[in-house]
Structure 1
Amino acid sequence: MTKILFTGGGTAGHIFPIIAVVRELRKMGSDAQFFYAGPKDDFGEIILSQESIKIKWILAGKIRRYLNWKSVLENIADVLFKIPLGFLQAIFYVFISAPDLIFSKGGYGSLATVLAGQILQVPIILHESDVTPGLANRFMSKFTSQIFVAFPVAQTEYFSEDKMIAVGNPMRVELLNGDAEKAKDYFDLIVGKPIILVLGGSQGAQAVNDLMLAILPQLLTDFEIIHQTGSKNLEQLKAEAKVMVVDEELARRYHPVGFLKEVELRDAFKVCDLVVSRAGSGSIFEISGCQKPSILIPLSSSAQDHQLKNAYAYAQNKAAVVMEEANLTPRFFLEKIKYLFANPDELQKMSQRAKEFSKPGSAKIIAQYIIKYLTK
């Protein structure tokens, strides 16, 4: 039986594209066994297990390029212990599982598995989500037979042009089939006001949460809000919102939730009129696939400013508005939202440009390549 080993960093940005590819492979009739090797992550364990993907946790270290005493000590510990031990774990696991192919979603968490695959002569393909690849992906690209990239931006200074194909970021196509009526029932939406969907990533985003709280009463006067806060932030945010919004009618228009499961996110995308989100590649391609206008707030501390670069690459076609954290005030944010809804033609154009940018078939293209590669 064919065996395919997936690897990545363990976060939602790595896990969901892998799941999208696995689902497409199964739709095509693949009877392959699917494995995942990467750094331990509770969220990843739940999601991967639901897809019947066998999991092996691998220790993963990284080199931090910001300098302080803590980072220096962490770097020493990772170089002396985590990285060597993780590599030994990966060698053993790749040898025992004997995969026919390794698919790497990239990131430092996949480095040990990719190196093990190279040593044991397992074919490797790589997917790069961001406009500017990280150091780990640049290094791993030397060992790959094919490199898929998300953004149609020239990356030949990082990757070999003859290996590279721009396909978009693999997304779960199930998100395209939302049901607005189910969203109204699930979130207990009042309806009648424009609906804003706020996404802070799978773990939430404190800066986005704080921004929403600062203008919540004003927002709820004109809009209804579905807000993914991050599970660890939910109860505190509910308590703070209760203090901020004393009017019961306004309070009914605010719908905070810790984490949106796939079916909930699917329906929330369908019913909303605008998305406010971080600028991870996965989020951008899901927003564009669902043809929604968006305001993107890139994570200011992301490695190599990859979210900022992703956001501006996407916004070039005017499908989104980018608002940088460094210059973002609650008042400016509120004014931008009101401006967009005061100009419905602008929102409609943003939706159309999101549709033009979208690549909902990315996972299918990658799955087709994998099947063709394994059967040649």
Structure 2
Amino acid sequence: MRIVLLGGGTGGHFYPLIAVAEALEELTRERTLIEPELYYIGPEPFERTALLEHEIAYIPGAAGRLRRYSSIFNVLGLFATAWGICTSIVQLYRLYPDVIFSTGGFAAFPSLYAAKLLRIPVVIYDADATPGRVSLWSSKFARWIGVAHPEAAARFPAAIRDRIAHIGHPIRKEIETPAKEGGHEFLHLDTSVPTVLVMGGSQGAQVINNAIIDALPQLVSSYNVIHQAGNANIDEVDKLAKLVLRDTSHEERYRPFGLLNALALRMAAGVANLVVARAGSGTIFELATWGTPAILVPIPEDISHDQTSNAFSYARAGGAVVIEQHNLTPHVLFAEIERIIKDPARVAEMSQAAKKFARPQSARKIATVLLDVALQHEPV
């Protein structure tokens, strides 16, 4: 049995693939099936080590990005996409997998197009409240469509809605459960004050970083701050933080990181009273699974079509408040943090709402569908 995994080049597209790979390993053991051969096709994967850990073979694949605005790069993207389709046809014909699983994004398009031509079964998943263009297009020939947000189903063609399931978001097992103890010691935090965790997404967020740095003297006077600033930003953030904190008495309450690894993230989740984050669907469902109240700062809609709808979907459920980027100032951010953390009843309500929003076993549901489709396709 061969299963191909496809997804864009960001953590939001990549990590659900890893969560589903984990669930496939678990399900095949339970069903006493031969473990499937897993392949990832696309540009450079977001995290090669994750592929190695789960014995997922990497097959390089070309893909061009088509922007939503006029740009000379769109012409180059068209050529790259055409080349990617040609190479994908050859790759998939040689491999001929039993099923293909896609989380969408530009990197998935060439292989999905090739799969359609070769009549290889396709299963897709879209994490956003407003589905992406690749997911909407591929839904027309997909055997099954999983969505994270309930309102996403209405965006797909009416004729295929009987194939859509609202399943939440696949979460990797290594970060699914916050560490119940040891977080303060592991992260060297002050146990006498609440903790704010700042997550700017897998690539960091300059706007959030700037607001946090400007508000830092006020923040550390009352809170620990764990700050995931992004690997590309960490050196600059660290230097600025040292400058703004040099005359304060609680510099040790600030803990900056480039990217929190799985263990550090579990520890941070275990001690966080509130999270400030972007509004990628993966981040939202991690917060929901943890039951942690959040302040979401979505990427503006003219840059990213999905984060604003994701943020307000979660806010309507009660798990978060939203500060749109054009309204984000150090004063507004600090005031909102204070308003939530200093109201225990509101914290409890937001935590309960978050847990209700989470839908556990998402990865397992997708893995079950993949195995069923693959077994039907596999020659006896």
Shorter chain as denominator, the TM-score bin is over 0.9
2:279 counterpart residue number: 279
Give the deviation of 1:310 after TM superposition: 0.4
| SS of residue paired to 1:156 | helix
Give the deviation of 1:109 after TM superposition: 1.0
Contact 2:298 2:325 in 1 (8 A): yes
1:4 counterpart residue number: 3
Give, in whole Å, the separation in 2 of the partners of 1:99 and 1:261: 32
Single out whichever of 131-140 and 174-183 deviates more from structure 2: 174-183
1:35 counterpart residue number: 39
The 5 A counterparts of 1:314-333 are 314-333=314-333
Deviations 1:232-277 (A, max 9, x none): 1111111110100014641100000111111211121111111111
The 5 A counterparts of 1:287-326 are 287-300=287-300, 305-326=305-326
Instruction: Select the residue among 112, 123, 126 that pairs with 1:125.
Output: 123
Contact 2:121 2:373 in 1 (8 A): no
Matched, 1:76 2:79: no
Structure 1: runs of 5+ lacking an equivalent: none
Q: What is the letter of the counterpart of residue 141 of structure 2? A: F
1:215 counterpart residue number: 215
Single out whichever of 158-167 and 285-294 deviates more from structure 2: 158-167
Give, in whole Å, the separation in 1 of the partners of 2:211 and 2:53: 34
Give the deviation of 1:50 after TM superposition: 2.8
| SS of residue paired to 2:365 | helix
Contact 2:103 2:124 in 1 (8 A): yes
Contact 1:40 1:59 in 2 (8 A): no
Give, in whole Å, the separation in 2 of the partners of 1:155 and 1:373: 21
Matched, 1:360 2:364: no
Q: What is the letter of the counterpart of residue 69 of structure 2? A: Y
Give the deviation of 1:178 after TM superposition: 2.7
Give, in whole Å, the separation in 1 of the partners of 2:243 and 2:227: 17
Contact 2:274 2:341 in 1 (8 A): no
Give the deviation of 1:45 after TM superposition: 2.3
Structure 2: runs of 5+ lacking an equivalent: none
Contact 1:134 1:304 in 2 (8 A): no
Contact 2:130 2:155 in 1 (8 A): no
Give the deviation of 1:278 after TM superposition: 0.4
Give, in whole Å, the separation in 2 of the partners of 1:203 and 1:157: 28
Single out whichever of 51-60 and 15-24 deviates more from structure 2: 51-60
| SS of residue paired to 2:209 | helix
Q: What is the letter of the counterpart of residue 278 of structure 1? A: R
Identity %: 35
The 5 A counterparts of 1:226-245 are 226-245=226-245
Give the deviation of 1:175 after TM superposition: 1.8
- Cα 1:358–1:282, aligned 2, differ >3 Å: closer, same or farther? same
| SS of residue paired to 1:231 | coil
2:149 counterpart residue number: 151
Deviations 1:115-171 (A, max 9, x none): 111111110010011111122221111121111111011523424211111101111
1:44 counterpart residue number: 47
Q: What is the letter of the counterpart of residue 193 of structure 1? A: V
When the two structures are aligned, how many residues end up with a matched partner?
369
- Cα 1:169–1:318, aligned 2, differ >3 Å: closer, same or farther? same
Give, in whole Å, the separation in 2 of the partners of 1:221 and 1:164: 49
Give the deviation of 1:181 after TM superposition: 3.2
Instruction: Select the residue among 99, 114, 117 that pairs with 1:116.
Output: 114
Give the deviation of 1:52 after TM superposition: 1.8
Deviations 1:50-107 (A, max 9, x none): 322111121111322223xxx2x1111122x201111112111111222110001111
| SS of residue paired to 2:299 | coil
TM-score (norm 1): 0.94
Give, in whole Å, the separation in 2 of the partners of 1:288 and 1:39: 30
Contact 1:5 1:102 in 2 (8 A): yes
Contact 2:128 2:152 in 1 (8 A): no
| SS of residue paired to 2:124 | strand
Contact 1:100 1:374 in 2 (8 A): yes
Instruction: Select the residue among 103, 118, 136 that pairs with 2:101.
Output: 103
Contact 1:64 1:75 in 2 (8 A): yes
| SS of residue paired to 1:311 | helix
| SS of residue paired to 1:300 | coil
Give the deviation of 1:199 after TM superposition: 0.3
| SS of residue paired to 1:18 | helix
Matched, 1:192 2:196: no
Deviations 1:313-363 (A, max 9, x none): 111121100110011221111111111122111011000000011012111
Give the deviation of 1:176 after TM superposition: 3.0
